[in-house]
Amino acid sequence: MGTSTASLAIGPYRGHTRLASGGGGEVWEADGPRGATALKIARTDQQRDALRREIAVLKRLDHPHVVRCLDGDPDEGWMAMDLVRGPSATEWAVSRSTSELVEFGALLADALAHLHERGVLHNDLKPDNVLVDGDEPRLIDLGLASGPSDGEGPCFQGTLGYAAPEQLARRRGSKPSDVYALGALLYRLLTGRPPFVADDEAALAWLPMHSLPEPPSSLLPGMPGALEELLLRMMARRPESRPTAAQLPQQLRGARVGKPRRVVLGMNAAREPLRQAIVRLTEGRGGVFVVHGQEGSGRRAIIREAVAAARREDLPIISKPLAGHDLTETVTLATAPAILALDGAQPIARQVAEAVLTHQPPVLCLLRSEQTIIPLERMGAKHIRPTPLEIAEVARLMVAYRHDPTHAAVLHRATRGLPGAVYGQLRQGGASALSAMERRLLVATTRRPVPIPDLSEALGISELAIVDLAEPLIDRGLMVELEDGACLMAARG
């Protein structure tokens, strides 16, 4: 969309520069009774219907980050709006800091909350529908928006890459689907690419319905862990697992600083099947995956990532048997979706996996193993093997851990690209300067492995905060993960 010089006259307005032309009509820069304005012109009956709806919606709104309707005649097919001369959100975001982008997102979330308070759904939130006035967002193009009298909104007419899975399934828009779109928009601004990338529209429509976004820290190492968690929860597969727009301004501002998560790079051929397995689990379909490879190959990292994704979908994690039952019976009796991760070398692990494959409860069982488990493979278990990191991925990890990336080839050769070995070289040592909360966590896990939900209750902080607290202790060798992240225990000796 570029600008072109021409002229038109409609109502009291004289358009002199065409700014854009698309499915919603034409937008002109025009002069009128209020000075310079943006003049939207509908050329077809469909565009005129959308314009009529947009005028009705905008007249219900009054927010500094939502463009105003100044004048309009839907019968004649035109509307005058605030003229915003700034760039699109995508253009503006280049070279901006994470803190600036998060504040931008908080302002946009506040505008979205205003829409929802007034009973309005945007239904097509994306970077092209956000212009920047100074350094602040202005939400434009509410042609697909809907209000209380329109029901829950039109069937899907949004934009691939930003539409929520339920919209792609031809269900009507909702407040959670607007939150999903905002999460996708912020993901794009922060990482430089949308949550899903595909070569054709069919694949781009399929992926959000059957997979989950790659954690953004894989694209932007150093991102605060709380910010990554919030973005991914905004794009949770289950609408009820997403925060509300009203909660987001405070949550975003609170998440823009803090410790980064342990970065997981590469290994997409192994990580993607597990993301798809989490989606199937939300739909009540379980299964067994054996993640196999040598020590340090990344097995723990990708299983931990899958367990974290399950937490974001509010799926229970089985970490201990039900009272009066062993673990195999507990899994067999499950009636609601749940996940568990086990060391495949334990005898109980194979028994549990066999029970899942035989009785098919809605349970996803993840086994860590050094090699394939042939009997389980014959029963239908999926086997995946992480691949070593490439030199460029090692370099990105070195940047994240504040090491000189020019030595990436040397580190890659020394570690053969095995993620565990690379992390081991980059970890910081020493056990000094523990915080009070870190000491409490170590004391709470000294005698036995403790499930993360139990630690959350005992220490009075969220499960996410427990994970963030534990990661530097694990890196320093003071704590170990058991059941691939479901339980924590202080290291012995």
- Residue 124 appears among annotated catalytic residues: yes
* CB-CB contact of 159 with 125 (8 Å): no
Please give the Cα distance from 100 to 383 (Å, whole number). 42
Compute the chain's Rg from CA coordinates. 26
Predicted confidence (pLDDT) at residue 486 exceeds the cutoff of 90: no
Was domain 268-384 assigned CATH 3.40.50.300?
A: yes
* CB-CB contact of 405 with 391 (8 Å): no
**Beta pairing partners, 182:** none
pLDDT band at 421 (very low <50, low <70, confident <90, very high): confident
H-helix or E-strand containing 458?
helix 452-459
pLDDT band at 475 (very low <50, low <70, confident <90, very high): low
Higher pLDDT, 87 or 430: 87
Q: Which residues contact 75 (CB under 8 A, 6 or more apart)?
A: none
Please give the distance of CA 78 from its chain centroid, rounded to a whole number.
38
| Average pLDDT value for residue range 60-87 | 91
Model confidence pLDDT, tens digit, residues 93-150: 998 999 999 999 999 999 999 999 999 999 999 999 999 998 899 998 888 888 765 6
Active-site residue among 110, 124, 150, 484?
Answer: 124
Please give the Cα distance from 387 to 407 (Å, whole number). 21
Predicted confidence (pLDDT) at residue 428 exceeds the cutoff of 60: no
* CB-CB contact of 275 with 211 (8 Å): yes
CA distances from 108 to 134, 206, 251 (A): 14, 28, 13
Domain boundaries, the chain: 4-81, 89-255, 268-384, 391-490
CATH topology of domain 4-81: Phosphorylase Kinase; domain 1 (3.30.200)
Model confidence pLDDT, tens digit, residues 283-331: 999 999 999 998 888 998 899 999 999 999 999 999 888 888 899 999 9
Four-way CATH pick for 89-255: 3.40.366.10, 3.30.1310.10, 3.40.1710.10, 1.10.510.10: 1.10.510.10
Please give the Cα distance from 482 to 71 (Å, whole number). 63
Please give the Cα distance from 152 to 129 (Å, whole number). 21
Predicted local distance difference test score (pLDDT) of residue 207: 94
Predicted local distance difference test score (pLDDT) of residue 307: 93
Predicted local distance difference test score (pLDDT) of residue 156: 62
Please give the Cα distance from 280 to 85 (Å, whole number). 45
CB atoms within 10 A of CB 347: 7
Query: Which segment of 42-46, 268-272, 335-339 scores lowest on mean pLDDT?
Result: 42-46
Higher pLDDT, 64 or 492: 64
Query: Which segment of 121-130, 405-414, 417-426, 463-472 scores lowest on mean pLDDT?
Result: 463-472
Predicted confidence (pLDDT) at residue 371 exceeds the cutoff of 60: yes
Q: What is the architecture of the domain spanning 391-490? A: Orthogonal Bundle (1.10)
69: exposed, middle or buried (C-beta count within 10 Å: 0-12, 13-18, 19+)? Answer: buried
Please give the Cα distance from 86 to 97 (Å, whole number). 19
Model confidence pLDDT, tens digit, residues 346-360: 889 999 999 999 999
pLDDT band at 431 (very low <50, low <70, confident <90, very high): very low
3-state secondary structure of 287: strand
Model confidence pLDDT, tens digit, residues 248-289: 999 999 998 888 878 888 899 999 999 999 999 999 999 999
Please give the Cα distance from 300 to 341 (Å, whole number). 10
